[in-house]
Amino acid sequence: IGGRYLRANGRYIRWNAGVSVDHSVSSMMYWVVEPIPAREDMPALPAPPPNPPYGYLLGVYLEPGRLIRFVRALDDGHYPEDPEADGWQQFWFRGRSAFRLRDDLGFLVGAGVYYPNIAMCVRAGRYGRLTPLVVDLPDGGYGESLEIVVFLADTPAYNELRHPDVDAE
């Protein structure tokens, strides 16, 4: 049996905690998949972390940076699938805070006017299903790209979204 298997890293080397793809089978490839129930309203985003230490201003303390590619969905939910198409924009984002990312995107989609009532959805690859972003970004990821589709509140597409119940047990 061969193929591409998900491997849970970090069992022996703690600093290498994450998930990778491998072609061999091992005990680190047994997973328990638990469904996360949906909820109709968007959960509160985690509070932003406190301001970084003074060393941040000197360039000593750097949070992970990512290229954020985003597009604003139409009221009916349609958007250009290809991130190279017109309508997609991008900016460099430092940090992990979904709260701060929403603030930045709210300003950018509001054409310079802060528009906080948005939902951010990520997709797994070009044809992946959109999933509302309701948790902070993972550690690491320096230089990675993240594609986000932005939905404005009080639109039919926004009202159709179902959010993961991150507080479910």
Query: What are 21's strand-pairing partners?
Result: 6
How high is the pLDDT of residue 60?
A: 56
CA 38 from centre of chain: 17
Determine the pLDDT at residue 91: 93
Question: Of residues 49 and 87, which shows the higher confidence score?
Answer: 87
Q: What is the pLDDT of residue 15?
A: 61
73 pLDDT exceeds 60? yes
| Higher-scoring residue by pLDDT: 132, 55 | 132
pLDDT exceeds cutoff 50 at 1: no
Range(s) within the chain of domains with CATH label 3.10.20.90: 43-164
First to last CA, the chain: 35
pLDDT of residue 165: 80
Decide if pLDDT at 90 tops 80.
yes
> Higher confidence at residue 123 or residue 91?
91
Report the pLDDT value the prediction gives residue 68, as an integer from 0 to 100.
92
Neighbours of 8 (CB within 10 A): 15
d(C-alpha 150, C-alpha 152), whole Å: 7
Q: Which CATH number fits domain 43-164: 3.10.20.90, 2.40.50.100, 3.30.450.20, 3.10.20.30?
A: 3.10.20.90
How many Cβ atoms from other residues are within 10 Å of residue 19's Cβ?
A: 12
Mean pLDDT within 91-109 = 90
Q: How far apart are CA 87 and CA 165, in angstroms?
A: 31
- Which residue from 121, 130, 116 is spatially nearest to 150, judged by alpha carbons? 121
Cα distance between residue 3 and residue 23, in whole Å? 5
Q: Identify the residue with better confidence: 132 or 123.
A: 132
What average pLDDT does range 14-39 have in this prediction? 70
